[in-house]
């Protein structure tokens, strides 16, 4: 290592991730650039009667993941959540949220990039989407709903294994659990 004015650089290993002069970085780099609510809908179809209902709601949570390139080395990952709360008397509320993140990727092999976009990025976005949902449900006049954590990496691995098994059997690929939003 050489030391110049208190800055350490690795001269022996240029791919060490310490950065190269003139933008010649060749090591893989991934990061969330920003995150945002792209689309959101909150419906309270049974108001004001719903506030008199004593029974606990049945909550149905569905999600979908999509990723699309936005520019060179930048992808938009969309985590879409649809929550429906019902009781015997009817629908209490519906929350639909498309929560997105811009992901920057450079020098990442395609299989690793796909795994990051469909498993790791949603895992990183989920806590923030969860908070948005909790606030929306609270603002609709109900107790905040804390959506249970989701094992995105486990679901991705399951889906990948199922696809490979289906393709190995010579069949048509299965419809993905996690796909484009």
Residue 14 has pLDDT above 90, yes or no: no
> What pLDDT digit, counting tens, does each position of 127-158 carry?
999 999 999 999 999 999 999 999 999 999 99
153 falls within a domain: no
Q: By 3-state DSSP, what share of the chain in percent is helix, strand and coil, each rounded to 5?
A: 30, 35, 35
What CATH number has the domain bearing residue 60?
3.10.420.10
| DSSP element (H, E) containing 122 | helix 121-139
In a domain, residue 59? The reply is yes
Tell me, yes or no, whether 106 lies in a domain.
Answer: yes
128 domain residue, yes or no: yes
pLDDT tier for residue 97 given thresholds of 50, 70 and 90? very high
- Tally of domains in the chain: 1
Q: Domain of 110? A: 26-146
Q: How confident is the model at residue 170 (pLDDT cuts 50, 70, 90)?
A: confident
Residue with tokens 């908070």: 131
pLDDT band at 169 (very low <50, low <70, confident <90, very high): confident
Judge whether 32 and 147 are in contact, CB under 8 Å.
no
- Segment 48-73, tens digit of pLDDT: 999 999 999 999 999 999 999 999 89
Nearest to 117 by CA among 32, 17, 25, 26: 32
Please report whether residue 157 resides in a domain: no
């Amino acid at each position: 290592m050489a030391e110049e004015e208190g800055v350490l650089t690795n001269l022996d290993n240029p791919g060490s991730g310490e950065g190269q002069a003139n933008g010649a970085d060749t090591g893989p780099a991934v990061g969330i650039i920003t995150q945002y609510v792209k689309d959101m809908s909150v419906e309270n179809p049974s108001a004001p009667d719903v506030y008199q209902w004593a029974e606990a709601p049945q909550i149905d949570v569905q999600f979908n993941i999509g990723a699309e390139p936005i520019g060179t080395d930048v992808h938009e990952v969309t985590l879409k959540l649809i929550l429906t709360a019902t009781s015997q008397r009817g629908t209490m509320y519906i929350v639909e949220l498309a929560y997105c993140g811009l992901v920057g990727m450079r020098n990442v092999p395609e299989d690793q990039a796909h795994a990051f976009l469909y498993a790791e990025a949603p895992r990183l976005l989920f806590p923030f989407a969860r908070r948005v949902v909790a606030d929306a449900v609270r603002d609709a006049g109900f107790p905040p709903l804390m959506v249970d954590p989701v094992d995105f990496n486990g679901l991705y691995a399951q889906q990948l294994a199922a696809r490979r098994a289906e393709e190995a059997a010579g069949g048509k690929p299965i419809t993905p659990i996690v796909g484009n939003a």
